[in-house]
Amino acid sequence: MKKIAIYFMILLFICSGGVLADDMTRTGSVGAQFLKIAVGSRYQGMGESSVAVVSDAYSMYWNPAGMANVESNNITFTNVDWIAGVRLNYISVASRIEDFGVVGFSATLMDVGEMAVTTVDDPDGTGETFSASSMALSAGYASFLTTRLAFGASIKYVYEKIYSETSGGIAFDFGTQLQTGFKSLRIGMNIANMGPELKFSGPNLNTGLNETTTGGSIDVNSYNLPLTFRLGMAYDFVDDPENKWTFAMEAKHPNDNEQQMSMGTEYGYHERYFLRTGYKF
């Protein structure tokens, strides 16, 4: 079973690399952008270089393999006031089940508030309003395949709504974390939001709803999810009962943009006080 999981991950990353390479020029063509809004102040503070560092319930977002490090129960919550009045809430829970592994659940809810309905005849608004929102619900599992290698996977349902039009579908996340055996050096890999294209449908796309025309529907384009591949490392320069200093670096390959990198560092004192900084380029 361990060998099958390892071979599966290798094949998955090879295949995803080919898909991502084909999408290098597709900037602006991917939907469900709310899935790219980072969560967790620790990982944001480290420049999002998190794939090899994450070890709590936030693993459901960054790398499901990180949940294997959860020892009992863990719950996390993030509220983000994004640009242009966009609000995002994220909650995740991870719980260890003895002799089985760690299971996790997460929910992402995004809302953009009320907006005015405009038409050609009423460009300043008709007096009506509409809203747009997005949601993702996930369930995952992680476990150590060996004393050094952790594997995790999750399945999520992605749902978006604009006015009365909706789209929805299933996506998957897969990840690994490896303790290399060289001091504290560890390596993490993750592929997120792997799933089929989504497509909006709804009553406002219908046409010909009167007695003089034939009924029909506007054919809208389908869109891809923000598929992302991450590869990163982390190393503890200092790790004693009072002090811990961690450095992390990560390369990210999204399917709608060029390759990106990030690095970050965290200093912890008595596991209570932390100083973090990061940089993305």
List pLDDT tens digits, range 160-201: 999 989 999 999 999 999 999 999 999 999 999 999 999 998
Task: Report residue 204's pLDDT band, with 50, 70 and 90 as the boundaries.
Answer: confident
Residue 203 is predicted with a pLDDT of: 86
Residue 220 is predicted with a pLDDT of: 86
Average pLDDT, integer, range 67-89: 93
Examine the pLDDT at 23 and tell me if it is beyond 50.
no
List pLDDT tens digits, range 219-240: 888 999 999 999 999 999 999 9
Residues 6+ apart with CB under 8 A from 138: 60, 104, 105, 106, 107, 108, 154, 155, 156, 157, 173
Average pLDDT, integer, range 6-30: 57
List of long-range contacts for 110-114, beta carbons under 8 Å, 24+ apart: 110/34, 110/37, 110/86, 110/134, 110/135, 111/86, 111/87, 112/84, 112/85, 112/86, 112/87, 113/85, 113/87
More confident site: 98 or 2: 98
Examine the pLDDT at 268 and tell me if it is beyond 90.
yes
Q: How far is CA 265 from the centre of its chain?
A: 21
Average pLDDT, the chain: 88
List pLDDT tens digits, range 111-152: 998 888 888 888 888 888 989 999 999 999 999 999 999 999
Task: Report residue 8's pLDDT band, with 50, 70 and 90 as the boundaries.
Answer: low
